Amino acid sequence: MGGLKKKKLWGSVSLVLALSLALAGCSGDNEKATTKDGKEVLNITAFIGTPNQAPAKDNRIYKKIQDELGVNLEMEFLVGDLQQKLGVMIAGGDFPDLITADTKLVSAGAVIPLEDLIEEHAPNLKKHFGKDWNRMKDSSDGHIYWLPNYGVYTGEFISNYYSGPAFWIQKSILKDAGYPTPKTLDDFTTLVRDYAAKNPTIDGQPTIGFTTLASDWRTFPLLNPPEHLTGHPNDGGVVVDDSGVATVFADKDISKRYYKELNNLYNEGLLDKEAFVQNYDQYLAKISSGRVLSMFDQHWNFQAGEDPLVAQGKIGQTYVGFPLVYDTSITDHYLDRPVINLNNGFGISKDAEDPVALIKFLDKLMDEKYQKLLSWGEEGVDYQVNEEGRFYRTPEQRTEQDDPAWRLVNKAEGFYAAAPKLEGTFEDGNAIGAINQPEEFYDNLKPEDKELLDAYGFKTWSDFFSPAPENPVYYPAWQVDLKEGSDAAVANKQMTDTSLKFLPKAIMSKPNEFDNIWTEYVDAYKKIDVKSYEDRINEQLKWRIENWSVK
Amino acid sequence: MANTPGAIPEQTTRTVVPKAPLLKRLRGQRQLMFMSLPIVAYILVFSYYPIWGWVMAFQNYSPAKSFTQQEWVGLKHFKFLLTDDAFLNVLRNTIAMSVINMVLGFATAIIFAILLNEIKHKFYKRTIQTISYLPHFLSWIIVTGIVASSLSVDGGIVNVVLMKLHIIQEPIMWLSVPEYFWGIVGASHVWKEVGWNAIIYLAAITSIDPSLYEAAEIDGANRYKKMLYVTLPGIKSIVIILLIMNMGWILEAGFEVQYLLGNGVVVDWSQTIDIFVLKYGLQIGNYSLATAAGIFKTVVSITLIFAANSISKRLGEDRLI
């Protein structure tokens, strides 16, 4: 027990201490960035619930926001499963300043009410959301927690580009068949069958007639078609009748008819064999290979798979959406009037140090000047203005916009998609998005697209759909909050699980086994507490009719 | 070594050292005590403090409320688990896949180590060993990607090879046949871990006294006899220790493989406890149910590890606890 040993021990302890201090010193970056006029930059952390690619470090638009508004956005994009990520975040009790909307966060008390903040500090936001103010209130406590990112229109509503649900078919098929207009599911599958028979391979790989997706939360490509085929709008897992009563349709005959058709396609070898085992990335990869002839999906969901095709100039292998129905007596209701995208967008978390600064920042961005920056870009760099004050892009500028890599450096897409935004037209009459500027839309069309639209005598992609009727007050039912951990939420999960288990089995069975598996499926469905799910939805629809009706 | 029935168990004799008073012993070992403090603190903070969270399993936990406001529900969540068909399936899958992984993992690693030990040419031995343990360093997301594309019907290597050999007529959708799922998971585990797991046995083999081999050779043992009667018994104690240690992980059949390879069609065979917890707990904000399932898992694991330990004691082998 000599002094020597003691010295050694203390020596090593202090060495460890010194090392850990040195390491800690490395991680702390105390340098504060400043704006042009020397003010300190406010760091805002934001979690964005979609799997975007992170913008380039020297992104032009984010840089401009930092210089002019003194805000540096530190964004985290989703990797993996959103519900899992949020669950972990709640369990850990640690939130970024701005957080992607999810009803789970309200139940967890993770976000703060916004109505007073908006009233006091955010005139632009207040004006923007004014007519939807009541809709934005949470049905359980009357507070506003989210700033919805889509669906609030100012000025004129223009829609050239359709990004909703439809049955999508490759443009080259239409051209090949002399531009027919498939109305029913049968018309559609006939087109696919004929083309697949003529073209067993595309670009050297086997042709896939029809594919679908049922991975993670993206189950709507598989589960939603029956409601659309029967002329109902997109209400998610239920169809709502004229008196406003919602019923689940997944196990009903209207669904059976559709899945039987998929079963036929499967047995003819036209349905993608791996449709039910693929994940979202594999699905996108398959679409971007150009060999998928058709699918049911919402355009925004497979857009990322189509982008590479556009960039490679393979326009014939991109898609046109058709509003199919079971038979011609049914009117299609795919196109709907824009509704405010409730339970989406941003909220401010309880951990945010300075909610006032946050709301002021978001409010400043609602200024037309910044909305132009976010959607069109910089004048003279990303777009031009002609003598009449109309915005347009040069062909080179359009080519740049098609390049995903360029956009990471020169556009603030990740944040812009999640933030509240103006839609419709600016005060000067220009459309808010380049895609919605009619002349820009038309000039931006590839020659193949012009040829196709001309052949049908249409001006825009939305013209393929019946005009949208007035929305019912409660619409859409898929936005109903089921309440975390409730019986309705558990039932919903079980229903999805059951569908994902039996539907692929039924679709991939021999034609004569289909009916038996369908019966098994219906029986399994009966064991679930579907009623608690329907009850919750109906109760909420009723609440909406009472509280949202214009008085 | 082993106890034959009827034989008198050997008594382990231990020299009894009179124990010094606790305080004095503590003082005598104060350097040791001091050094162990950080570890003890670490374990307290990260392993024992979280146990407090278990109370959630007996509540309808809501993160928005404080502890006193929570609603207590007793054993409701445990009852739900033990009566739910899906959970019983999940339990079966977890145990089955763990056992498959463990048995396959042990058997292949031991066999691989013994065979590798027989290779006398240093260069070949090194090369084989390096190649075999490289997959260990890949993350599961990459491995499942490789597995999925080799099993694909669309030119996946497994189907291509089987077709060329005329074993099958047309490509098989491996990942959509529920009965194949356990096998695929087991095989992926072996591919990924066999080389890595073999390292410890290789190390154990090198510590076997060479004179035993010489003696066996004089007695006329051939190569296989030597493997069976010298090498295997030589690494027996390592095998048993590892077995006990792994017992604690028996319900950790994994999450990533099953989550990444699984799909709706095979859900009855692929869902493990962790995935169930994720789906019915975290994803729909039902934290109490998730906690109950977690507790269930812990209790089973502890029971198994004690069972394994006492079996090992009866076998007269080294014990962990």
CB contact under 8 A, B60 and A485: yes
Q: What is the pLDDT of residues A200-211, one digit of tens each?
A: 999 888 899 999
Q: Which of A289-298, A414-423, A541-550 has the lowest mean pLDDT?
A: A541-550
Q: Which of A56-60, A136-140, B100-104, B244-248 has the lowest mean pLDDT?
A: B244-248
Nearest to B264 among A81, A282, A504 (CB): A504
Give the closest-approach CA distance of A107 to chain B in angstroms. Answer: 6
Chain A residues whose CB is inside 8 A of the B263 CB are 214-215, 276-277, 500, 504
Chain A residues whose CB is inside 8 A of the B258 CB are none
Confidence of residue A253 (pLDDT cuts 50, 70, 90): very high
What does the pLDDT read at residue B6?
46
CB contact under 8 A, A490 and B280: yes
What does the pLDDT read at residue B317?
62
Q: Which of A213-217, A501-505, B130-134 has the lowest mean pLDDT?
A: A213-217
CA end-to-end span of chain B = 21
Please give the mean pLDDT across all residues of chain B: 84
- A264's CB contacts (< 8 A; 6+ apart) are A189, A511
Alpha helix stretches (DSSP H) within A70-169: 82-92, 103-107, 115-121, 123-129
Q: Which helix (H) or strand (E) holds B88?
A: helix B85-118
Could you tell me how many helices (H) and strands (E) chain B has, helices first? 16, 2
Chain A residues whose CB is inside 8 A of the B285 CB are 87, 90, 104, 107-108, 484-485, 489
Nearest chain B residue to A494 by CA: give it.
Answer: B280
- What percent of chain B has pLDDT above 90? 24
Q: Would the pLDDT of B307 be above 60?
A: yes
Residue A384 one-letter amino acid: Q
Whether the CB-CB separation of A463 and A162 falls below 8 Å is answered with no
Give the closest-approach CA distance of A109 to chain B in angstroms. Answer: 5
Alpha helix stretches (DSSP H) within B4-75: 22-28, 30-43
Confidence of residue A2 (pLDDT cuts 50, 70, 90): very low
pTM of the model: 0.76
Burial label, A419 (beta-carbon count in 10 A; 0-12, 13-18, 19+): buried
Confidence of residue A11 (pLDDT cuts 50, 70, 90): low
**φ, ψ for residue A273 (rounded to 5)?**
-65, -30
What does the pLDDT read at residue A537?
93
Rounded Cα–Cα distance for residues A349 and A109 (Å) = 9
Nearest chain B residue to A492 by CA: give it.
Answer: B284
What does the pLDDT read at residue B4?
47
What does the pLDDT read at residue A236?
87
Nearest chain A residue to B56 by CA: give it.
Answer: A91
Q: How many CB pairs under 8 A join A and B?
A: 103
DSSP reduced 3-state for A212 = coil
The two beta strands, B71-72 and A205-206, are unpaired
Q: What is the pLDDT of residues A297-355, one digit of tens each?
A: 999 899 989 988 988 889 999 999 999 999 999 999 998 888 888 888 999 999 999 99
Q: Would the pLDDT of B32 be above 80?
A: yes
Q: What is the pLDDT of residues B182-233, one digit of tens each?
A: 999 999 999 999 999 999 999 999 889 989 999 999 998 888 898 889 998 8
CB contact under 8 A, B264 and A110: no
Rounded Cα–Cα distance for residues B278 and B286 (Å) = 9
Residue with tokens 């059949």: B253
Nearest CA to B178 among B98, B237, B263? B263
Q: What is the pLDDT of residues A419-463, one digit of tens each?
A: 999 988 898 889 888 888 888 888 888 889 999 999 999 988 988
CB contact under 8 A, A277 and B281: no
Q: Would the pLDDT of B280 be above 70?
A: yes
Query: Under an 8 Å CB criterion, which residues of B touch A?
Result: 31, 34, 60, 62-65, 86, 148, 152-154, 173, 175-176, 263-265, 267-268, 278-289
Chain B residues whose CB is inside 8 A of the A90 CB are 63, 285
Rounded Cα–Cα distance for residues A472 and B77 (Å) = 40
According to DSSP, the residues that pair with A46 across neighbouring strands are A75, A98
Angle value at C-alpha A307, between A301 and A312, nearest 5 degrees: 155
For chain A, the farthest-separated pair of C-alpha atoms sits apart, in whole angstroms, at: 99
Whether the CB-CB separation of A489 and A102 falls below 8 Å is answered with no
Nearest to A84 among B154, B283, B289 (CB): B283
Q: What is the pLDDT of residues A219-249, one digit of tens each?
A: 999 999 999 999 999 998 899 988 889 999 9
Q: What is the pLDDT of residues B39-79, one digit of tens each?
A: 999 999 998 998 888 888 898 887 777 888 888 888 888 88
In this prediction, residues B97-118 reach a mean pLDDT of: 89
**Mutation target vs B (from A138, A277, A498; most B CBs, 10 A cutoff):** A277
CB contact under 8 A, A108 and B283: no
Rounded Cα–Cα distance for residues B207 and B211 (Å) = 11
Which whole-number Å values give the CA distances from B105 to A430, B191, B198, in the listed order? Answer: 66, 9, 9
